[in-house]
A and B are shown apart, each in its own frame.
Chain A
């Protein structure tokens, strides 16, 4: 038996649990094609009424930022406090701002 001829590719699964929320990554599964991936995702990840919408993506289609670059990608945002509303002190008399 040829192992690779029967291996199904890996798919990442994203589920929207309720109308109004975004899709959240819930895990992965194996399927031969996208239609099967969605059916399988429905059976595996939404048995307890956990979903209204499913996205599936071949695992190798995902590009990820490298953890090694975590500091150069994300640290520079740390010292730009002026992007947050709380940085701005206004007199108490000012309403609606």
Chain B
């Protein structure tokens, strides 16, 4: 009887668009799904620092260097907010990080692609952050309070990320012939992986339905992907760039863009660990973690020493 009342109350909250908070009762599956989703999101932010961090030392002006560094720093912050939100569900950050480093946890497939030119900083900001924003704005209204609030913070910061990326593309497209070519080449390589960021088609998506019922996921993969295409194609036209999709066409009847088939083999390969940079990304994260162990241990040891001295003084007094 008691469990059913708690479950009823939980379902009532969900139905009334009320937030579930950290210590509220929740079904195990809801908790597990949230931990999985939030931690994947956090891992994505952390791994996402690497492809963009790759160009900070080579940014072509001091202003761009500062902007890119601030952006990547924000990503670390986002990872942090999300790990914090996950920890309210009873997991420890250390365990989540271990899962990532040991290859047991997923993160957004897009970050397994390499950043080969400065134009990629533009494309990543414009397309990848654009796609991320598309996913994240609805999450500001998700049912779990700490996650929703973290997302509000993230979204506020994310909008500068997309704008700075687009500004980079704009400058390139209005620049020299070399710069224009750099921008087009970048779009050619980042377009399809960005579409893949929204995940598999709805019919092949495993977690979708339950997450929708619990208001953890507000829109389907295909809905978001379509919205992204509709929003982004005019932006590409404004830049004077060609989207690398021969089947892309405005459909007057539906009021949307029809677009070509996604290479799902590539998508599932990359998810399974066979993308251009999967191994490098994990190696980098493991190296940072392992190389830093002595530092973390020193901080703990020092804090303990200080505490011991303090209590010795208090005892002696």
Contacts and interface: CB of A to CB of B under 8 A. Distances in A.
Q: Do chains A and B touch in the complex (CB under 8 A)?
A: yes
B246 interface: no
B296 A6 contact: yes
Contacts, number: 58
B299 A7 contact: no
B32 interface: no
A47 B80 CA distance: 14
Contacts of A26: 153
Contacts of A6: 293, 296-297, 300
B77 A36 contact: no
Contact of A8 (B21, B74, B300): B300
Given A7-B94, A10-B87, A32 B21 contact: no
Nearest to A30: B93
A72 interface: no
A5 B300 contact: yes
Interface string B277-305: 00000000000001001001101101100
Given A3-B98, A47-B73, 7 more contacts: A1-B293, A3-B94, A5-B297, A6-B293, A6-B300, A7-B296, A27-B80
30 contacts: A2-B297, A3-B94, A3-B98, A5-B300, A6-B293, A6-B297, A7-B92, A7-B94, A7-B296, A7-B300, A8-B300, A10-B93, A27-B80, A27-B84, A27-B85, A27-B149, A27-B150, A27-B153, A28-B84, A28-B88, A29-B84, A30-B93, A33-B299, A33-B302, A33-B306, A36-B299, A66-B23, A67-B21, A67-B23, A68-B25
